[in-house]
Amino acid sequence: MTSCDITNSRSFCDSGLAPFYHGVASGDPTDNSVIIWTRITTTSPNATINWIICEDQALTSNCQTGSIATDASKDFTVKLTVSNLSANQFHYYGFTDVATGDNSVLGRTKTLPSGANISQIRLGVVSCSSYSHGYFHAYKHLKDRNDIDVILHLGDYIYEYGNGEYGTEFDYDPATEMYTLDHYRTRFSYYRLDPALRDLHQQYPFINIWDDHESTNDSYKDGAENHNPGEGEWVDRKSFSKQAYDEWLPVSSVNPLYRSFQFGDLMDLILLDTRLEGRKEQLTTAPLDNVYPELLGVAQTNFMNNGLQNSTATWKFLGQQIMVAPLRVGPEGAPVNLDQWDGYETNRNNLLDVIEPLSNVVVLTGDIHTSWANELPDHDEQYISGVYNIEQTELISPCANSNGVEFVTTSVTSPGLPDVVNAGATTIKSGNPHMKYVNLDRRGYMIMDITPQQAQADWFYVSDITMPNFTITDTESWKVNTNETCLIKSLIVSTDNLNRTSEPQPPATPLVGLPVSLIHFDGWNEGNINILKWSTASEINNDFFEIEKSQDGRLFKLLDKVDGNGTTTEVFNYQFEDKLISSGFNYYRLKQIDFDGSFQYSQIIVIENKTDQNQAHFFPNPCINSFNCTFISTGFENTIIEIIDNKGKVVQTETRSTTPGFQRVILDFSTLPIGTYIIRLTHGSEKTDQSVFIKM
């Protein structure tokens, strides 16, 4: 399993989360239930975990509690379904290790709406998150929005490759391709230590469906393109991948994984498994005899058909992996990718026949690492594209023989597919008039905003996945009106106003990290006193801080309270002195509590009190933007401070002139990428101190 000794710029065990390093998660919500999840990291052979779920952050309103056991047979994951919950309601949940009393972070989830007159549903739609290609900025931006009901992950949640086989920005754990149960478990653990993904799970319930890379590339029921001799039997590898998926994600069942969700009278969502359930091996060329392989299997086809035909909701959504709309290029109109529905035309024709008499059918798709807005031409009739005004925002005459629409989300990080990208968006649209929007080179996510009047897709694109900082550079929006099958370009992003009209904006869940109003939090030792200082960007009138202290970094107890009325110059400054200190390590954190009872924790400050005052101290660890060094200088000398990354490269160097006595140096690390580093001090006397620290 991934250990807490790993040194990576993204995945690491945050000491403030111990022993629930992987955070919490929820998923598969209904109007009265939800699955809640966590994992405990322990050396014990088993563990008993208490859980609680309530309707408020203070964990006092309409609560349910219980206990559940876990052990190595479950990879020490904890997963349970909590029922008898209120519909369309935020709930807050957490876990406690019975043996130690340690608590997890608090998670937030939400049940689905029920009944009639549902006014709005908003989904965050993602797929294809290759860890080795870059940062999960799409997850980070989704987490910060605070305006979504559910995250819909359409597959390729993890990737199976080894280091350097597909992407080179970041290494994997395990370093080799995964094909054993331990491999799959370790890869899931590694992903779930990524802060962006961990925090997104903490904020929203997920609805997950797999694609191929949760097992291996181009997988199907009886094999896979990337399953080779020496990797065991396929039936075992498939079983291992499904077991790890079941352990590490809040899904109700993987046998089968296809299922459906009801969002009151507004929307039904049917999820399909187009990989492992019924798919036969992909073709390499289109068949001359029009005999195509099977994609879904009989049972799943019946499930899909019945779900669509029996739905009484306004909108019928299909969530699945591979593009349904035909994609053809060249003078002969040859299909580009037979791995998608183009290679399973019999199944596509069945789907088009089923939805032809229905209203308001929308397909949501992932897999292809690019963005598309497609109409779905009937296979038996000639498709005629609609005529739009010059701004492409209004239909002058409608399209003919389109049976529905399809919105394809781009990838979180995975690169565009070469065969598709090389064709070019203009060429693709000219040869495929049912494709209204095509973007082949941007990474990000999609928002699906559904009301009784329309369903609109908004694509949000991040600036750069290879750098730790990013912005949202641009968006694109397309919609379909109720009882229509033609796509219309929207000039208004449906989510520009993040305060939902249908319900109040929820409070943010407490996340480990700096509270929004906190500029910095420092601490150091002077003699027999530990001094804590922090600042806020604005005056805090309606809340206060609790200072918590721990001797082991895990079990924190209340030390004192400070009212929110700091002294101002340009910022509002606070100071606290702890005179009851002990030798060794002292851990501190701030708990900022708002007037409504919600709260956030700061980072943890670690102050080491040593009898050897000549030893350098380094704090806080982990740090965010600044770092402190204290040491005793024996004379007038130069001290060289070097920062070394996990590859041994010196990435930052400073020289400070010092005088005899106590020295405190503040270092600016705001430009350093998130990661693990060594700080090394070389004094004029050639005495050297060094320590490992983490930049958050």
Amino acid at 494: S
Are 691 and 543 contained in the same domain?
no
- To which residue do tokens 């781009």 refer? 410
* End residue of a domain, out of 592, 609, 626: 609
Q: Burial level of 546, CB count in 10 A (0-12/13-18/19+)?
A: middle
Q: What is the pLDDT of residue 227?
A: 97
Residues in Cβ contact with 95 at an 8 Å cutoff, skipping those fewer than 6 apart: 20, 24, 38, 40, 49, 50, 51, 52, 78, 103, 104
- To which residue do tokens 């056991």 refer? 69
505 falls within a domain: no
374 falls within a domain: yes
Q: What is the pLDDT of residue 506?
A: 44
Are 520 and 666 contained in the same domain?
no
Strands 637-644 and 107-110 come out as unpaired
Q: What's the Cα-to-Cα distance from 470 to each of 477, 518, 533, 669, rounded to whole Å?
A: 21, 21, 30, 17
Amino acid at 286: A
Q: 174: cis peptide before it, omega within 30°?
A: yes
- SS3 sequence, 453-499? CEEEEEEEEECCCCCCCCCEEEEEEEEEECCCCCCEECCCCCCCCCC
Q: What is the pLDDT of residue 15?
A: 76
Contact present, 544 and 560 (Cβ < 8 Å)? no
Bridge partners of 694, per DSSP, are 676
Are 574 and 437 contained in the same domain?
no
404 falls within a domain: yes
Q: What is the pTM of this model?
A: 0.75
Are 552 and 477 contained in the same domain?
no
Q: What's the Cα-to-Cα distance from 383 to each of 352, 485, 488, rounded to whole Å?
A: 13, 12, 17
- To which residue do tokens 């694509």 refer? 459
Residues in Cβ contact with 522 at an 8 Å cutoff, skipping those fewer than 6 apart: 532, 533, 534, 605, 619, 620, 626, 628, 666
Which CATH number goes with the domain that contains 529?
Answer: 2.60.40.10
Residues in Cβ contact with 567 at an 8 Å cutoff, skipping those fewer than 6 apart: 573
Q: What is the pLDDT of residue 645?
A: 74
Which CATH number goes with the domain that contains 345?
Answer: 3.60.21.70
Please state, in angstroms and rounded to a whole number, the distance separating the CA atoms of residues 67 and 52.
9
DSSP state of 419: H
Amino acid at 209: I
Are 633 and 605 contained in the same domain?
no
Are 674 and 641 contained in the same domain?
yes
* End residue of a domain, out of 609, 640, 672: 609
Q: What is the pLDDT of residue 487?
A: 96
CA angle 122-244-268, nearest 5°?
25
CA angle 111-125-357, nearest 5°?
85
DSSP state of 281: P
DSSP letter string over 237-279?
HHHHHHHHHHHHS--S-STT--EEEEETTTEEEEE---SSSSP
Bridge partners of 363, per DSSP, are 318, 406
Are 443 and 568 contained in the same domain?
no
Q: How many CA atoms lie within 13 A of 224 on its CB side?
A: 26
Please state, in angstroms and rounded to a whole number, the distance separating the CA atoms of residues 511 and 518.
13
Are 559 and 694 contained in the same domain?
no
Q: Burial level of 328, CB count in 10 A (0-12/13-18/19+)?
A: middle
Number of domains in the chain: 3
Tokens for 299?
Answer: 């049972």
Contact present, 192 and 75 (Cβ < 8 Å)? no
90 falls within a domain: no
Are 604 and 639 contained in the same domain?
no
Q: Which candidate, 131, 190, 162, places its Cα nearest to that of 465? A: 131
Secondary structure of residue 144 in the 3-state scheme: helix
10-residue block means of pLDDT along the chain (696 residues)? 58 84 96 98 94 84 93 97 96 90 88 95 97 96 89 98 95 95 97 94 96 98 96 97 98 97 98 98 92 97 98 98 94 88 97 98 97 97 92 87 98 87 85 95 96 96 94 94 96 64 42 50 79 73 73 73 65 82 79 64 71 62 74 78 76 83 79 79 70 71
Are 573 and 438 contained in the same domain?
no
Amino acid at 153: H
Amino acid at 667: L
468 falls within a domain: yes
Contact present, 317 and 267 (Cβ < 8 Å)? yes
Are 588 and 467 contained in the same domain?
no
Are 210 and 308 contained in the same domain?
yes
| CB atoms closer than 10 angstroms to residue 539 | 12
Contact present, 78 and 38 (Cβ < 8 Å)? yes
Which CATH number goes with the domain that contains 683?
Answer: 2.60.40.1930
Q: Which candidate, 133, 127, 187, places its Cα nearest to that of 370? A: 127
444 falls within a domain: yes
Contact present, 127 and 154 (Cβ < 8 Å)? yes
Q: What is the pLDDT of residue 501?
A: 40
310 falls within a domain: yes
339 falls within a domain: yes
Contact present, 192 and 22 (Cβ < 8 Å)? yes
Secondary structure of residue 642 in the 3-state scheme: strand
Host H or E run for residue 355: helix 345-355
Domain range for 618 is 611-696
- SS3 sequence, 556-581? CEEEEEEECCCEECCCEEEEEEECCC
Q: What is the pLDDT of residue 514?
A: 39
Q: What's the Cα-to-Cα distance from 364 to each of 325, 404, 448, rounded to whole Å?
A: 11, 11, 9
